[in-house]
């Protein structure tokens, strides 16, 4: 690991100032991706800005027809939250399948979304549930937030502060884990909220998480697994690696989407 300076600001404003003025700074949230990356010398920030002392960045609350989750809320807190379990069980289950129990005690929702790993679970939740990502500067709809592999709409000194999930009528997430890393080889989140149907896929897209409009349109007609029969996602443009070819991933998207719809509808 390269040497760095650690800052521990007590407010978002301070953190944003530090981020703006230091040349090569990175935010440290749960650190479960950043620290291993630094250990392997694949990242070399000159300074780290630890967000853990900032009050008010963590917590889960039900606000009207939305669940609002602070950016520094740990995966385990989301998974174990009675509020989430009761109102948005798909999200609790998704959070409970990230990494492993120890990683879930550290990793945060804000960190995961800002990192936008193409195989991470939370991007599927944000996009599949039509979440709004709130930063120190603005609100960004999930549809606008994920701009490519490890790329987001976040500006240079922008910090995610919370994530708002509108409550769907039905939702489910089905994940097929990469056997080695346990990231999603493919994960599909399906939700229905009023007239809006979303099918978001993580793990498979060369540019990160994406929606499957063909599936969404079919599910508009009738929200059931049979509606997806005969439909598939083209393999072209999907990720292909030692763990799964593009063809296999394309096939899994169909299988998992049907299973997610069945789970959500049931």
Partner 1 sequence: MPAVSMTVNGKPVTADVDPRTLLVQFLREELRLTGTHVGCDTSQCGACVVHVNGRAIKSCTVFALQLEGAKVATIEGLANGDQLHPMQEAFRDNHGLQCGFCTPGMIMAAVDIVNRKGHDLDEHTIRSELEGNLCRCTGYHNIVKAIAAGARAMGSGAAVTQKAAE
Partner 2 sequence: MSATGIGATVRRKEDQRFITGKGHYTADVNRAGQTHACFVRSPHAHARIKGIDATAASKMPGVVAVLTGADLAVDKLGNLICGWMIHSKDGSAMKMAPHPALAQTKACHVGDPVAVVIAETLAQAKDAAEKVQVDYEVLPAVADPAQAQSAGAAQIHEVAPKNTIYQWQLGDKGKTDAAFQSAAHVTKLDIVNNRLVPNAIEPRAAIGEYDSGTGHFTLWNTTQNPHVARLVIAAFIGMAPEHKLRVIAPDVGGGFGSKIFIYPEEVVALWASKRVGRPVKWVAERVESFLSDAHGRDHVTHAEMAFDRDGKVVGLRARTIANLGAYMSTFSSSVPTYLYATLLSGQYNIPNIYCEVDAVYTNTVPVDAYRGAGRPEATFVVERLVEVAARELSIDPAELRKRNFIHQFPHQTPVILAYDAGDYNASLKKALELADYKGFAKRKRESARDGKLRGIGLSAYIEACGLAPSQAAGSLGAGVGLWESAEVRVNPTGSVEVLTGSHSHGQGHETTFAQLVSERLGIAIDNVSIVHGDTDIVQFGMGTYGSRSGAVGMSAIVKALDKVEAKAKKVASHLLEAAEGDIVFKDGKFTVAGTDRSVPWGDVALNAYTAHKFSGQELEPGLKETSFYDPTNFTFPAGCHVCEVEIDPDTGETEIVNWTAVDDFGVLVNPMIVEGQVHGGITQGVGQALLERAIYDKDGQLVTGSFMDYCMPRAHDVPSFKVGVTVTKCPSNPLGIKGCGEAGAIAAPAAVINAITDAIGSEQIAMPATPQAVWTAIQRGNATRKAAE
Q: Which residues bind partner 1 (CB under 8 A)?
A: 1-6, 8, 28, 31-32, 35-36, 38-40, 48, 50, 52, 76, 80, 99-103, 105-106, 181-182
CA-based diameter of the chain, in Å?
Answer: 57
223 vs 248 by CB, closer to partner 2: 248
Is there binding between residue 141 and partner 2 (CB under 8 A)?
no
What minimum distance in Å lies between the beta carbon of 102 and partner 2?
A: 14
Nearer to partner 1, 38 or 126 (CB): 38
Binding range to partner 2, per CB under 8 A, among 5-13, 110-118, 175-183, 206-214: 175-183
248 part of the interface to partner 2, by CB under 8 A: yes
Question: Residue 197 to residues 177, 178, 223: CA-CA distances in angstroms?
Answer: 24, 27, 9
User: From the list 252, 253, 261, 263, which residue makes contact with partner 2 (rule: CB under 8 A)?
Assistant: 252
266 is a site residue for partner 2 (CB under 8 A): no
| DSSP secondary structure of 187-251 | EEEEEEETTEEEEEEESSBTTS-EE-HHHHHHHHH--SGGGGTT----STTB--BTTB-HHHHHH
With respect to partner 1, which residue has the nearer C-beta, 11 or 232?
Answer: 11
122 near partner 2, rule: CB under 8 A: no
Judged by CB under 8 A, does residue 1 bind partner 2?
yes
82 neighbors 173 (Cβ within 8 angstroms): no
Pick the binder of partner 2 from 3, 6, 42, 236 (CB under 8 A). 3
What is each CA distance from 16 to 32, 52, 59, 150, 159, in whole angstroms? 21, 14, 20, 20, 7
103 exposed, middle or buried (CB, 10 Å; 0-12, 13-18, 19+)? Answer: middle
């Amino acid at each position: 690991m390269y040497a760095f300076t650690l800052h521990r600001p007590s407010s978002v404003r301070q953190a944003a100032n530090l981020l703006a003025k230091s040349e090569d700074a990175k935010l440290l949230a749960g650190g479960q991706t950043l620290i291993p990356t630094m250990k392997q010398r694949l990242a070399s920030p000159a300074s780290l800005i630890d967000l853990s002392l900032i009050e008010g960045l963590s917590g889960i609350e039900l606000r009207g027809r939305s669940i609002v989750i602070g950016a520094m809320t740990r995966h385990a807190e989301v998974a174990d939250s009675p509020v989430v379990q009761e109102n948005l069980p798909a999200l609790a289950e998704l959070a409970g399948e990230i990494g492993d129990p120890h990683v879930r005690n550290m990793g945060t929702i804000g960190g995961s979304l800002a990192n936008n790993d193409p195989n991470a679970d939370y991007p599927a939740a944000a996009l599949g549930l039509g979440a709004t990502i709130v930063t120190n500067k603005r609100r960004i709809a999930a549809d606008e937030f994920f701009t490519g592999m490890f790329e987001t709409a976040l500006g240079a000194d922008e910090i995610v502060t919370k994530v708002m999930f509108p409550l769907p009528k039905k939702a489910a997430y089905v994940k097929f884990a990469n056997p080695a890393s346990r990231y999603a080889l493919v994960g599909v989140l399906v939700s229905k909220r009023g007239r809006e149907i979303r099918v978001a896929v993580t793990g498979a897209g060369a540019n990160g998480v994406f929606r499957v409009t063909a599936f969404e349109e079919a599910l508009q007609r009738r929200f059931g697994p049979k509606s997806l029969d005969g439909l598939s996602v083209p393999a072209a443009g999907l990720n292909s690696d030692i763990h799964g070819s593009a063809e296999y991933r394309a096939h899994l998207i169909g299988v998992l989407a049907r299973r997610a719809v069945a789970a959500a509808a049931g």
